């Protein structure tokens, strides 16, 4: 049994994932967390399970994801730990199957916080990651799903520690070198133990103007509930824009309460063509659950 804005039990473990396709990632993350691995270890393993699986390409994630306008696969990923505000990211990375792992290495083993394109490749090879020429070769995009703004985002609360991570292959037919919100701190993700963590998914070229993940965490610091914080930020964004834009946000505070907000009224699962959600589907697991569950956040009014 679970509750929607939602205290966990005394173990205080929570995992959230963006979109219904994150269930495998959340399950893998849970298994790692329950085997006493850290929040960062758990996120890395969970996101790797999606990044390396070709079937998740229609979800705009990983090795099967869409190519840019020149036919190349460029992936963005980032990870952040809220205890020490550690952050690492790679953008426009070509030729590697685990961009979140490279991002973690940037966080832990590089004097910089973000590397891009050839710089990210040079670092990855130096750190021992295997370059795959096939992933760096030119190809064409096949049939693409209608919605093309999906990003895999995970949040892990483990007692007094909280982390988040994101990975995406980016929008189809993007200009080479384009970077959206996903891997930018405060935009696609943010974590701070004094408040909690948030991850965003949607129209990255619009989202990055607002730093929504950072804003949500600031509201969590002020005592707002996660769902309320998400809705406040989204309302501010919609008030500033006369046209429709897509954004969905998940958030967790340090009490183990979680929630979401969205502008998505309807979403068709790209892996299950006959399944449509009336809102933004996200996956949750807490230490009070046996298995992860898929919840659906309806559009704010």
User: Measured between alpha carbons, how far is 256 from 14 in angstroms, rounded to an integer?
Assistant: 6
pLDDT per position as a tens digit, 94-134: 999 999 999 999 999 999 999 999 999 999 999 999 999 99
Q: Distance between the two ends of the chain, CA-based, in angstroms?
A: 28
β-pair partners for 165: 79, 154
Q: Catalytic site residues?
A: 151
- Portion of the chain with pLDDT greater than 90, in percent: 87
The candidate with the shortest Cα–Cα distance to 261, out of 222, 228, 220, is 228
User: Measured between alpha carbons, how far is 64 from 52 in angstroms, rounded to an integer?
Assistant: 8
Confidence of residue 145 (pLDDT cuts 50, 70, 90): low
Tell me the domains of the chain and their CATH numbers: 13-297 (3.60.20.30)
- Is 221 within 8 Å of 197 (Cβ atoms)? no
pLDDT per position as a tens digit, 163-197: 999 999 988 899 999 999 999 999 999 999 999 99
User: Measured between alpha carbons, how far is 104 from 165 in angstroms, rounded to an integer?
Assistant: 9
Prediction pTM value? 0.94
User: Measured between alpha carbons, how far is 289 from 33 in angstroms, rounded to an integer?
Assistant: 14
Confidence of residue 5 (pLDDT cuts 50, 70, 90): very low
- How many CB atoms neighbour CB 165 within 10 A? 33
Query: What is the per-residue pLDDT for 300?
Result: 74
Which residues have a Cβ under 8 Å from the Cβ of 126 and sit 6 or more positions away? Answer: none
Using the predicted structure, report yes or no on whether residue 73 has a pLDDT greater than 90: yes
């Amino acid at each position: 049994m679970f509750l929607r804005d939602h205290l966990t039990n005394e173990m205080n473990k929570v995992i959230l994932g963006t979109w219904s396709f994150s269930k495998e990632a959340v399950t893998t993350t849970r298994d790692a967390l329950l085997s006493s691995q850290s929040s960062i270890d758990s996120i890395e393993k969970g996101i790797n399970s999606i990044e390396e699986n070709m079937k998740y390409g229609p979800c705009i994630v990983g090795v099967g994801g869409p190519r840019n306008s020149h036919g190349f696969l460029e992936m963005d990923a980032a990870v952040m730990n809220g205890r020490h505000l550690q952050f690492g990211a790679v953008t426009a990375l070509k030729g590697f199957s685990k961009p979140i792992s490279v991002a973690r290495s940037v966080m832990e083993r590089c004097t910089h916080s973000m590397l891009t394109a050839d710089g990210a490749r040079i670092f990855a090879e130096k750190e021992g990651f295997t370059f795959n020429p096939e992933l760096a070769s030119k190809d064409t995009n096949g049939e693409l799903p209608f919605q093309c703004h999906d990003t895999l985002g995970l949040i892990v609360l483990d007692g007094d520690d909280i982390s988040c991570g994101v990975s995406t292959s980016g929008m189809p037919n993007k200009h080479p070198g384009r970077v959206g919100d996903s891997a930018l701190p405060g935009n696609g993700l943010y974590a701070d133990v004094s408040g909690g963590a948030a991850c965003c998914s949607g129209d990255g070229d619009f989202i990055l103007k607002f730093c929504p993940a950072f804003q949500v965490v600031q509201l969590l610091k002020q005592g707002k509930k996660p769902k309320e914080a998400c809705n406040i930020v989204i309302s501010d964004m919609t008030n500033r824009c006369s046209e429709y834009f897509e954004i969905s946000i998940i958030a967790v505070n340090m009490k183990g309460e979680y929630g979401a907000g969205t502008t998505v009224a309807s979403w068709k699962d790209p892996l299950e063509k006959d399944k449509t959600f009336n809102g933004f589907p996200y996956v949750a697991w807490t230490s009070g659950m046996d298995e992860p569950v898929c919840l659906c956040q309806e559009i704010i009014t």
